[in-house]
Amino acid sequence: MNSYQVLARKWRPQTFEAVVGQDPITRTLRNALASGRIAHAYLFAGPRGIGKTTTARLLARALLCLARTSPEPCGSCDACRDTATTDVIEIDGASNRGIEEIRTLRENVKYLPTRGRYKVYIIDEVHQLTEAAFNALLKTLEEPPPHVVFILATTDPRDIPATVLSRVQRFDFRPMAPDVLASTLERVLVEEKIPFDPAALPPLVRAASGSLRDALSLLDTAIAYGDGRLEADTAAGLLGTTTPAEVKAYAVALVAYDTGPALEAVDRAAREGEDLHAFIRDAIETLRLALVLKAAPTTRLADLTPTEGNELRTLGEAVSLDEILYILRALLDADQMMRESPHPRVELEIATVRATRRPVPHALDEVLRRVDEAEARLRGAGFAGGAAAPPAPVQQSILDSPLESPRAPGPAAGPTARASRAERPRGATSEPARGSVMPQGAASASAPLRSAGEPMGAPMPASAPPRGPGEPTLSPAPANAAPRGTVEPGAPLASASPRGGDESPGAAASGPPSDLAEAWQRVTEEVNRKRALLGAVLAQVRPAGLERGILTLVLAGNQFHRDRLLEPLNQDILGQAVRRWVTGAERFTIAMEGEADGGPRAHPGVQAAMAEFRGEIVAVRARSPEGDAP
């Protein structure tokens, strides 16, 4: 005969005081027993292995005890010592679920108990009774004989009809907390004098899922597997889970952007036949604890030892809360996908790569500091010593190309030439020195320049300023020569040479035009060739100015035109054309008509933010008066 009794039966509570984790329920029943307020029917609901049947048996023993002076049974009277009493009838609802069994029960309840005052019927898994059986039980359950008490136990109270639920006192048993389970297992190991490793208890607790009976059964198996000892490695091997040290190493690799070791941990778990679902759940739990301890450093978690808490705090110190949240979200998504995917390992590896290649978040303080620095640089460039710095010179004409080779200074010009140069508009080409001769076919440098709005093929004015005595007469340009500044569409604009036709072909440098209006015309021509619809929108746009590498475009159209300009593809096409044809332009910004001059868009802080984040201003709203709703 086998005299060994498993731990789940050996450590079954014999008093209400020994019931673990169900204090509200045991307290209510003890008070009812002490005051004599005994109900005729009870319903104990909750998951498996948390004490429903044990509590029902304790209540039945207390009701049958003849010498009870407190809520607890005395344990010494005949009723307490009689383990085969006929006054406690346990019925399995799964195998006695028909209407015939309920009819038999209705016939038997009228008989008085053999000893004591009560006869107790414990119906386990009562939710498996048929609908007809429930209907047959209703009347007896509502008004049983005064000596009968029904105790119904179920793991699924949703399958019980509402007519039955309204006739009983319901008690919902809760799954046990991990710290309660761990302390109970530790107490059992100490009482049984079994050597154990404290690190072996958390895997058993997690595998039990809040059930004390499951935890004791797993503990019994692990002790037998470890040859009378409980070790962390043997417990993990028995459960098919990963040891806590390896799970923690995997979490450390995720946090440290270390893709290789993280994938190696997944590969090792798969090769050794470990449960990948349990592996990812353990990793999620580890990172969850690290998240809690980082968000609330002073929090003390009951299921963690001080050493484990310090290790998890160290794990979270290297990263921000946002990064831990990113990793957790990747693992949670993978956990859900692994349940549905035929390739759970691939889902886990994808989540691992996502977590280790996550974007590095920039702290808000760092971004604000960089914006402040950019604003300070802009203010320093715009205001030197409290006075506005002179704007950079703008090249107004193609004749002033910076690529032309410098000319040797000629003799000093006379008063007439000096006066003529003084009256000449800014940016116009200076007149040749008196006495110098320009090659035939070259245009006169003193000829008036074409205005920015004048057509490219318009004839130059025929009049020329009067020349002094002795100044040579210049030959006019050939009739078939193209007007100065005329460029074939799509061809790069060449810098003009002051020596005209004598300039060798290799000396002319290719580059964008220096005049903003002319350059904008090249931009629109290129855009029209690439995307005609965008070119039509550009008909509503004019350039307002170029400052610090930003070309300001003024839109005279409506919001529709603005939305088209802000489309990513259109922005790429227009940006490429602007950088190709507008000298010094790195990017462009769009302002509606009337917003280009001044206003919030010209504020240094706004400009700094736009430059830092490479953004665009979509709308400018007036600030609401104080006290008004936005």
Map out the domains of the chain as residue ranges. 7-172, 178-239, 244-356, 516-613
CA–CA distance, 288 with 315 (Å, rounded to integer): 11
**Domain 516-613 falls under CATH 3.30.300.180:** yes
Residue that has been written with the tokens 């996550």 in this structure? 358
The answer to whether the 7-172 and 244-356 domains have the same CATH topology is: no
Q: Are 566 and 541 in contact (CB under 8 A)?
A: no
Cβ atoms within 10 Å of 381's Cβ, excluding its own = 11
- Whole-model pTM: value is 0.53
CA–CA distance, 269 with 253 (Å, rounded to integer): 15
For the chain, give me the number of helices (H) and strands (E)?
Answer: 24, 10
Tens-digit pLDDT profile for residues 209-230: 899 999 999 999 999 988 888 9
CA–CA distance, 123 with 119 (Å, rounded to integer): 13
Question: Measured between alpha carbons, how far is residue 407 from residues 7, 395, 435, 498 in Å?
Answer: 106, 18, 15, 9
What SS3 class is residue 398? Answer: helix
What CATH code is assigned to 178-239? Answer: 1.10.8.60
CA–CA distance, 263 with 245 (Å, rounded to integer): 16
What pLDDT, on a 0 to 100 scale, did the predictor assign at position 617?
67
Torsion angles phi and psi, residue 608, rounded to 5: -65, -40
Structure-block tokens of residue 487 = 């460029």
Question: Measured between alpha carbons, how far is residue 571 from residues 530, 576, 588 in Å?
Answer: 13, 8, 9
Structure-block tokens of residue 111 = 């008989």
Parallel/antiparallel/unpaired status of strands 148-154 and 387-388: unpaired
Tens-digit pLDDT profile for residues 348-369: 999 999 999 988 766 566 777 7
Q: Which is more confidently placed, 382 or 302?
A: 302
Superfamily designation of domain 7-172: P-loop containing nucleotide triphosphate hydrolases (3.40.50.300)
Judged against a pLDDT cut of 50, whether residue 473 lies above it is answered with no
Residues 244-356, CATH architecture: Up-down Bundle (1.20)
Residue positions counted in the chain? 630
What pLDDT, on a 0 to 100 scale, did the predictor assign at position 57?
92
Encode burial over 230-267: b for 16+ CB neighbours within 10 A, e otherwise.
bbbebbbbbbebbbbebbbbbbbbbbeeebeebbebbe
CA–CA distance, 124 with 129 (Å, rounded to integer): 10
Judged against a pLDDT cut of 90, whether residue 614 lies above it is answered with no
Question: Measured between alpha carbons, how far is residue 485 from residues 420, 447, 449, 493, 536 in Å?
Answer: 23, 14, 10, 9, 25
Question: Measured between alpha carbons, how far is residue 355 from residues 257, 262, 292, 331, 334 in Å?
Answer: 8, 10, 19, 8, 11
With CA atoms as reference, report the closest residue to 290 among 257, 252, 329.
252
Q: Are 280 and 334 in contact (CB under 8 A)?
A: yes
Tens-digit pLDDT profile for residues 15-57: 999 999 999 999 999 999 999 899 999 999 999 999 999 999 9
Least confident residue range of 80-89, 209-218, 547-556: 80-89
What is the average pLDDT value for the chain, to the nearest integer? Answer: 77
Cβ atoms within 10 Å of 9's Cβ, excluding its own = 9
What pLDDT, on a 0 to 100 scale, did the predictor assign at position 453?
41
Judged against a pLDDT cut of 90, whether residue 78 lies above it is answered with no
Structure-block tokens of residue 71 = 């809520």
Q: Are 571 and 530 in contact (CB under 8 A)?
A: no
Judged against a pLDDT cut of 50, whether residue 306 lies above it is answered with yes
Q: Are 87 and 64 in contact (CB under 8 A)?
A: yes
With CA atoms as reference, report the closest residue to 289 among 311, 312, 255, 314.
312
What pLDDT, on a 0 to 100 scale, did the predictor assign at position 599?
56
Cβ atoms within 10 Å of 526's Cβ, excluding its own = 20
Parallel/antiparallel/unpaired status of strands 550-555 and 587-592: parallel
Judged against a pLDDT cut of 80, whether residue 182 lies above it is answered with yes
CA 558: distance to chain centroid? 36
Least confident residue range of 198-202, 367-371, 435-439, 620-624: 435-439
CA–CA distance, 498 with 516 (Å, rounded to integer): 21
Parallel/antiparallel/unpaired status of strands 88-92 and 541-547: unpaired
Please tell me what DSSP assigns to residue 493.
P
Tens-digit pLDDT profile for residues 388-415: 445 445 444 444 444 444 444 444 444 4
